[in-house]
Amino acid sequence: MITVSTDGSCLRNPGGAIGWAWINHDGTFDSGGAASGTNQIAELTALLQAVRSHPGEQPLLIESDSQYAIKCSSEWVVAWKRKGWKTAGGTPVKNLEIVQAIDTAITARRGPVRFRWVRGHVGDPFNERADQLAGLAAQEWAAGRGDVNSTLVPELVPAAAREGRASGDGRTPSGDDRAPGERTVKQADPWDMDTLFD
């Protein structure tokens, strides 16, 4: 079983810079963001990135403090698909593109995906660390230092960020030879595990 905690952050909801993060309980993690969004988009993006970053046959358990993100991905999506991506009231599903992307990622994954709600801000070390990482990513984007290549969900990144206006010229940062859109999962320093949750 792979267990991953996710979180999202929006500095000013709606429309402020957003950050997302996941942290695997083995210590590996990833985070990113966008110049503008909502707290719901941030939470959903964290969940999507967690699924995409953990392919394979092993069961995946995603812990989140967002009941909205969990229900979008596991409960409501069933009825929404049946109703042609409309809500019970007949209105279009909010954040449809990302909800569909999550559904596609879960369906394509060979191993099962389950979700567990955890209460936020009560001392769970992985939830707290995901919250810190998401907040830091949002702050980087708010300060104009966000990495335009830091998301696999280009449809969520505003046009200004995609064109590089939100973070310099839009090129990959100096010394980073990743192709545009390529992700690099960060590895926890095994000698520094005590400070991982500072």
Instruction: Respond yes or no: is residue 131 known to be catalytic.
Output: yes
Q: What single-letter amino acid sits at 150?
A: S
Catalytic option among 30, 63, 65, 103: 65
The full set of domain ranges for the chain reads: 2-172
Reference 9, options 96, 118, 137, 126; nearest CA is 137
Instruction: Respond yes or no: is residue 65 known to be catalytic.
Output: yes
Instruction: Respond yes or no: is residue 192 known to be catalytic.
Output: no
| Cα gap 25→170, rounded to integer Å | 32
Instruction: Respond yes or no: is residue 30 known to be catalytic.
Output: no
CA distances for 104 relative to 96, 99, 175, angstroms: 12, 9, 34
Q: Look at residue 69 in the predicted model and tell me its pLDDT.
A: 97
CATH of region 2-172, choose from 3.30.420.10, 3.40.980.10, 3.30.420.40, 3.20.20.210: 3.30.420.10
Catalytic option among 16, 33, 43, 103: 43
Q: What does the pLDDT profile of the chain (198 residues) look like in tens digits?
A: 999 999 999 998 889 999 999 999 998 999 999 999 999 999 999 999 999 999 999 999 999 999 999 999 999 999 999 999 999 899 999 999 999 999 999 999 999 999 999 988 888 899 999 999 999 999 999 998 876 544 434 344 333 333 333 333 222 222 333 333 333 444 443 333 333 333
Instruction: Respond yes or no: is residue 121 known to be catalytic.
Output: yes
| Cα gap 103→16, rounded to integer Å | 26
| Cα gap 158→195, rounded to integer Å | 34
Catalytic option among 89, 90, 121, 169: 121
Catalytic option among 30, 131, 140, 147: 131
Q: Do the bridges between strand 60-64 and strand 113-117 make them parallel or antiparallel, or are there none, so unpaired?
A: parallel
Q: How many residues does the chain have?
A: 198
List the Cα angle 139/32/5 in 5-degree steps.
Answer: 105
